[in-house]
Structure 1
Amino acid sequence: CVLTDPPAPAAADPIPSPEIPDVPAWQSVMLSRRADRPGIRQLLRHAATEQVPLSGTGQGETDKTILLSLARFRGFPCILLGQDRSGQSALTTMGPAALREARRGMKLAEELQLPLVLVIDTLGASLSKEAEERGLAPEIARCIADLVTLKTPTVSVLLGQGTGGGALALLPADRVLAAQNGWLAPLPPEGASAIVHRDISHAPEMAAAQGIRSLDLLRDGVIDVIIPETPDAADEPVEFSKRVGAAIAHELFVLAEESDTDRQSSRIARYRNLGVPQ
């Protein structure tokens, strides 16, 4: 039924767009790191109408920092892949196997002719020598290239933390949504502070200067929609997850109305400066 049942007409309804409060970027960073903040598993539990879990790269590898599933949001079928905050810690960060599993999800979406939904929620990719030797950097580049050139509709959701290449690898979609307290940066603010000031005490100022919060990303055209938190997703996990699911379903409905040629041309134009072959 995940693949065969028709989409629900209600998927066309957009979510309400209240004014987003102008809070410091550092506040969003701190809220995104709350241990009880809902992640991709809560999104599936509370917002998906059906789901079929998948796992592995197809090459005998697994990585518990990423989740892959067939799912439906308001009856709209998709391949869902994203970073699982419950599988991450300072000692367990996403490695190249996670990115290879992500690329498997992209290929599966194309083979099944299903939309692809990506969830970004990562404290960063592994910085270990082993991860580099196993091809972390090339896998990030391949993910970006595969995603930009994918033939099916794509929606990316910045659900929480968006640190480094691991976050950027799942970003370039047809439509990019962000939770109100989601943020995106090539380095965490503490890392930027350490480089510029040789300490981490300037992290709040660096967060503001980097323009990493959802309001800044919307202003700069990196994201298209902000999903409100009232006032913090961790305090309303069920309702927040349902709002995210509704926003995903609406974007899937809108993208389904576009022709493949127009949609792919728009995506290539949007991300042409990433250096992806056309």
Structure 2
Amino acid sequence: MRRLNAAELIDTVLDAGSFRSWDAPAAAPAADDGGYRRELAAAAGRSGTDESVVTGEGLIRGRRVAVIVSEFTFLAGSIGQAAADRITAAIERATTERLPLLAGPASGGTRMQEGTLAFLGMVKITAAVRRHRQAGLPYLVYLRHPTTGGVMASWGSLGHVTVAEPGALLGFLGPRVFEALNGRPFPENVQVAENLFDKGLVDAVVPPEQLSEILDRALAILLPEPAGPVPAPETTAAAPASDEAWASIEISRNPRRPDLRYLLAAADDALPLNGTGQGENDPGLLLALARFGSQSCIVLGHHRPRHPDAPAMGPGSLREARRGMRLAEELGLPLLTVIDTPGADLSKEAEEAGLAGEIARSLQDLIGLGSPSVSVLLGQGSGGGALALLPADRTIAAQHAWLSPLPPEGASAILYRTTEHAPSIAAAQGVNVASLHRIGLVDHIVDERPDAAAEPKDFCRRMARAIEYELSEAAAQPATARLEQRWEKFARLGT
């Protein structure tokens, strides 16, 4: 595909005629090096820009945004001191004016002609990005072909949401440098956008002409309009009696039961994110930006396997979940967790990758989360894998959901060395919604008529309305009171 230069990308992504430059004339290099000055002049002539980056502001579907876009034809988009100053100034202005920021890097990295000072410029750019994110402002990155070196290792890898150009070469070490240093070519198809997506390093691979739509949807969720109170949804049916616990467990195991994918389809909008951003893409968890009615949120939840032999939720899933928790806190958005799992991965690999520690860290982050939070018991809720996503300000439960330290068959095997007592143990342990509501864990029950698998769309619409209401209720509480009430809720369960 033909690669767009900076001006073409700006024209493609921003509303027509809306771009306004923020660039002051680029400073001349401090060293009086005639050869380097001639290189800069030639680069300006070829590219039509005075430096390797263009900054400014414009509109995306009518929404004001700041932009920083690399011009690769200017010395391979390399970043010298003047370019670093320009990028830093643009980030700081976006922060001051409280604008979301879109970065579109395409760069070979640090400018070799300026040596270590140019290299150190990545630190001040990173500091500016950190302040922008700490201000609760979205930082969105579109990685273009090619992005390598210090740019990829700083402002190219810090996005709240990161998408990439199809086929883009993306990585730390440029392949030409690798070959020169090692005498052999770098392995093929490693440093390409699609492979980075598969490894959970970018959220999507999107051509430039589709970028404005994706950014508009993301910003509508990340920067929601102020919303008023949400009316309470319709009265739900009574929770099942405690002697129906085993019936609920069997209903929850129906492979046709609607899962998180169905629930997100009932949202007003949802944009999936992908992986931990650190080289892991565990299939056991789904992470997304979503909007239920007037309420935006970060969603993370169990991704129910489509096949019995599919991998269970492993430690990588919980590291991805904790990415979602950090996004919610940094952007000041509510967090929605969805629990629907027969249990976490019980394997040698999961143990060696620190599953128990990831469950503990997930619990610690959720119980102290600064953002409003709502958890949903959607179906099965077995073991530490379920507990890891549970703590929240408010908890909604589907009528036939349940929560247990182990599958009841496992508890029966421990107590009686047989699974035959699973139904009676389920009733005795109080795993179902009636018991969970009685002890104070479940605040809101969404009825099934009589089974969500028989009415998936209608059930998910009812659940979506309940989520909108409970997100609104949680967000209405003052932050300090909300955190104290969350701690108190779990301290007093059953009393």
Compute the TM-score of the two structures, normalised by the length of structure 1: 0.94
Structure 1 match to 2:270: 51
Structure 1 match to 2:256: 36
Q: Offset at 1:130?
A: 1.2
Q: Is the 8 A contact 1:65 1:93 kept in 2?
A: yes
Q: Does 1:249 align with 2:473?
A: no
Match of 2:424 among 195, 205, 215: 205
The one-letter code of the counterpart of 1:42 is: Y
Structure 1 unmatched ranges of 5 or more: none
Q: Offset at 1:270?
A: 2.3
Q: Tell me the SS of whatever aligns to 1:201.
A: coil
Q: Offset at 1:88?
A: 6.4
Change (3 A) 1:90 1:208: farther
Q: Does 1:4 align with 2:223?
A: yes
Q: Per-residue CA shift, 1:43-81, capped at 9, x if unaligned?
A: 0112x1011110111211011111000000012100000
Identity %: 53
Q: Does 1:124 align with 2:343?
A: yes
Q: Is the 8 A contact 2:229 2:472 kept in 1?
A: no
Q: Per-residue CA shift, 1:83-117, capped at 9, x if unaligned?
A: 01145635521100001001110011001110000
Q: Distance in 2 between matches of 1:232 and 1:188?
A: 21
Match of 2:304 among 66, 71, 85: 85
Q: Is the 8 A contact 1:119 1:158 kept in 2?
A: yes
Q: Distance in 2 between matches of 1:273 and 1:66?
A: 30
Q: Offset at 1:8?
A: 5.5
Change (3 A) 1:115 1:125: same
Match of 1:63 among 282, 297, 301: 282
Q: Offset at 1:256?
A: 2.0
Q: Does 1:158 align with 2:369?
A: no
Q: Distance in 2 between matches of 1:212 and 1:15?
A: 25
The one-letter code of the counterpart of 2:423 is: P
Residues 76-115 of structure 1 mapped to structure 2, 5 A cutoff = 76-86=295-305, 89-115=308-334
Q: Distance in 2 between matches of 1:42 and 1:166?
A: 21
Q: Per-residue CA shift, 1:112-159, capped at 9, x if unaligned?
A: 110000000001001111101100000000000000001000000000
Structure 1 match to 2:183: none
Q: Is the 8 A contact 2:296 2:333 kept in 1?
A: yes
Q: Offset at 1:222?
A: 1.9
Deviates more, 1:121-130 or 1:88-97: 88-97
Q: Tell me the SS of whatever aligns to 2:395.
A: strand
Change (3 A) 1:10 1:65: same
Match of 1:148 among 367, 374, 394: 367
Q: Is the 8 A contact 2:239 2:433 kept in 1?
A: no
Structure 1 match to 2:407: 188
Q: Tell me the SS of whatever aligns to 1:11.
A: coil
Q: Offset at 1:32?
A: 0.2
Q: Offset at 1:4?
A: 2.9
Q: Distance in 2 between matches of 1:209 and 1:19?
A: 20
Residues 157-176 of structure 1 mapped to structure 2, 5 A cutoff = 157-176=376-395
Count of matched residue pairs: 273
The alignment's C-alpha RMSD in Å is 1.7
Q: Distance in 2 between matches of 1:18 and 1:164?
A: 27
Q: Is the 8 A contact 2:374 2:474 kept in 1?
A: no
The one-letter code of the counterpart of 2:396 is: L
Residues 9-28 of structure 1 mapped to structure 2, 5 A cutoff = 9=228, 11-22=230-241, 24-28=244-248
Q: Distance in 1 between matches of 2:308 and 2:365?
A: 27
The one-letter code of the counterpart of 2:234 is: I
Q: Per-residue CA shift, 1:143-202, capped at 9, x if unaligned?
A: 000000010000000000000000000111000111100000000000001111111111
Change (3 A) 1:7 1:243: farther
Q: Is the 8 A contact 2:440 2:489 kept in 1?
A: no
Structure 2 match to 1:261: 480
Change (3 A) 1:222 1:8: same
Structure 2 unmatched ranges of 5 or more: 1-219
Q: Offset at 1:272?
A: 4.4
Q: Does 1:271 align with 2:490?
A: yes
The one-letter code of the counterpart of 1:219 is: R
Deviates more, 1:255-264 or 1:159-168: 255-264
Q: Is the 8 A contact 2:342 2:381 kept in 1?
A: yes
Q: Tell me the SS of whatever aligns to 1:118.
A: strand
Q: Distance in 1 between matches of 2:314 and 2:222?
A: 30
Q: Offset at 1:15?
A: 3.2
Q: Offset at 1:18?
A: 2.6
Q: Distance in 2 between matches of 1:239 and 1:271?
A: 32
Q: Is the 8 A contact 1:180 1:227 kept in 2?
A: yes
Higher RCO (CA < 8 A, seq sep 6+): 1
